[in-house]
Structure 1
Amino acid sequence: MDISKAIAEMKKRPDFTENVGMILIHNGTVRGWSRSDHANITGLETIVDTQKIEQLRREYLERPGIYDIMIEARSGQFLPGDDLLFILVAGDIRENIKPVLADLLDRIKAEAITKKEIKA
């Protein structure tokens, strides 16, 4: 996902300025070390459940103040530094947007993405 392009397209909508005061972005990348034991990793394999992600996106779109949510999650084999997950949450005020991004991210990682680290 080209984040700048996605935001620019969203801003073209006629109702954008009436509904959006903040856009929060998550850009998840492959770390060079394992979260479990800090061992070096040379890669990561992911499998994404796109239907589950769409279900979650629709669920969180119903939250108060949320204007739009864009998600791109990548399946395949990746190297440290590669982009894996993009989430954009646009809405009215930070009190509505911050918890949606946090909760949605946690649920996507727990319910819709399976990953396997390749250790050095």
Structure 2
Amino acid sequence: MNICELIEKVRRNVDYVKVGMIVCHNGVVRATTRDGRPAEKLKIKKDQEAWDKVLQEMRSRPGIAAVEAYLHEGERKVGEDVLLVVVAGDIRENVFPVLEETVNRLKSEAIKKEETVIVSP
């Protein structure tokens, strides 16, 4: 799955009476950890129940017509896609906050990750 395929999935299934914009997030594996250490890969998996709960809640927000997400589980290398999120809705004041909250909540509530840090000799 790539971001274009996820956007097309949303486009095929939304009611355009309710949609004025589609926004997306395409998270990739960074070459460093948040604290700046060099990293080479990421192992990632999701808690399906938590994942479904977050998406269901985000889909019920005012002005939102669709929320879809995809996680590339398993081992991912630097530069590879990890988390894809697409949100369709009426106006930016409704849609942008839902995109940000969806990404943040999926990462904190439904995704488990393990970074492989490069250790210097």
TM value normalised by structure 2: 0.89
TM-fit CA distance, 1:9: 4.1
Q: 1:50 to 1:21 in 2, by over 3 A?
A: same
Q: Give the length in aligned residue pairs.
A: 118
> Please, which runs of 5 or more residues in structure 1 have no aligned partner?
none
Where does residue 71 of structure 1 map in the other structure? Answer: 69
Where does residue 27 of structure 2 map in the other structure? Answer: 28
User: What is the CA RMSD across the aligned residues, in angstroms?
Assistant: 1.5
Query: Which residue of 48, 64, 84 maps to 2:46?
Result: 48
Q: 1:79 to 1:2 in 2, by over 3 A?
A: closer
**Partner SS for 1:51:** helix
Which consecutive aligned stretches of 4+ in structure 1 deviate over 2 angstroms post-superposition? Answer: 1-13
Where does residue 100 of structure 2 map in the other structure? Answer: 102
**Partner SS for 2:10:** helix
**Partner SS for 1:34:** coil
TM value normalised by structure 1: 0.90
Of 2-11 and 71-80, the range deviating more from structure 2: 2-11
Where does residue 2 of structure 2 map in the other structure? Answer: 2
